[in-house]
Every structure is written in C-alpha cells, then in structure tokens.
Amino acid sequence: MGWTEIVRNAEELVGKAMKGNDASHDAAHVWRVRDLALSLAREEGLSSNPDSMQIVELAALLHDIGDYKYLRDPSQERIVENFLEEEGIEEEKKMRILSIIKGMGFKEELAGHANSEISPEFGVVQDADRLDAIGAVGIARCFTFGGSRNRVLHDPNVHPRTDLSKEQYVKKDEQTTVNHFHEKLLKLKDLMKTEAGRSRAERRHKFMEEFLKEFYKEWDGRA
C-alpha cells in the first residue's frame, strides 16, 4: 500500500472518529496539528529522513482519536493500533507512533509520565498540538470547549489551582474557562520541546497575555 493511500485512509478515520466532537477537538484541529508538525519537522531538519516524516504525519493525524474527553466506548482506545496494523505499518514504526500518541498529553506530564526519551518526532508532534492550544486559535478553542461543557466563563472567587495533579486536571470540577489559561495554556510555552516550537510559541503566548489583560479590564468595567 502506498503512503498517499495510507494518509488518505488515516484522514478518513479522523473524519469518522471525530465527527461528533465539538469544534475545539474536531478534524480541523487535526489538520492544523498535522500541518504544524510537518512544518516544525522541516525546521528541525527531519525532512531528510522519510521514515521520520511519516511517523510525524501519522502520529499527528491520529493523536486525538480515543481522547479520554470524548471517549464514548472503551473499544475506541484500540482504534489507532488496529488501524496501523490493518494498514501494514511495520512494527517498529507502529510502536514509535503509538509511543508519541500515548505520551504527549498534558495530563501525562502532570503525572510525571511524560516521554522520558524525547525523540525529535515526539517533540515536533507534541509541540504542534500545544501550539494549536495557544494564541488566537487556542483562545477560540478554549472558549468553545468550555461552552460545550457548560462551564462558568469566569468567577473571580474561584482561583486557579497551583498544585494541579493529574486527577484534579482530569476531573476539572472547580475549573472556570478563564482559569484554564492559568492552569495549562500559559504554561505551554515553557514546555515546548523544540527550538522551532519555542520560537512560534513566544508570539502566541504574548497574544494570550494581552487578551487576558483586556478581558479582566472589561470584566471589571475598567475598559
């Protein structure tokens, strides 16, 4: 099976698996992450290795299938593994793709389970996903997700949690949408794994800081 066909099949799988998700974690998010990951990979010098670029593209395309926030059926956890086997992806490449997908989440980093051996492929895929969580698009996604869960927009009496554990992060009981900026999004710039990711994160991070300054002024009636 040719690479173009494998990618096309992966894109079809993304479309089907993520069809019912809200717009913060839909197929458009995946297309952006794929494009960002491949762009970062080229900046990081991975384009000379076709295997690396293929690992990056498939990991980016498949990274949100079976996301715990949208899991409707426990069997969905094996969708990606089954897909890679059906497409005839060789074992070593398959394991590298699965390792990237399983280790790249923010909750894994909170739990201390982040990928200890950070490969260049892991770095660009994780950075791409995190870049899409910050900046203008990140702001839009944050409020879209909060709205989909009927979350409180902002409450000055509910302060961001500073000693956030994986369990607290997943539970999200006391979280407001604006607190998510302080509990996660503003931390992502310093968690980038590649030079290319850090460079792009700077601008997006500053945009979020400016947005929050304006948001608090307007909320308090000072603007």
Note the pLDDT tens digit of each residue in 69-102. 776 666 666 899 999 999 999 999 999 999 999 8
Calculate what percentage of the chain has a pLDDT beyond 90: 78
129-133: long-range contacts, CB 8 A cutoff, minimum separation 24: 129/33, 129/37, 129/60, 129/63, 129/104, 130/106, 130/188, 130/191, 130/192, 130/197, 130/201, 131/36, 131/197, 131/200, 131/201, 131/204, 132/29, 132/32, 132/33, 132/36, 133/184, 133/185, 133/188
Note the pLDDT tens digit of each residue in 6-17. 999 999 999 999
Domain extent at residue 128: 3-219
Confidence band of 110 (pLDDT split at 50, 70, 90): low
Structurally, how many domains does the chain consist of?
1
Domain CATH for 120: 1.10.3210.50
Assess whether pLDDT exceeds 70 at residue 173.
no
More reliable by pLDDT, 66 or 178: 178
Amino acid at 182: H
Determine contact, residues 69/22, Cβ cutoff 8 Å: no
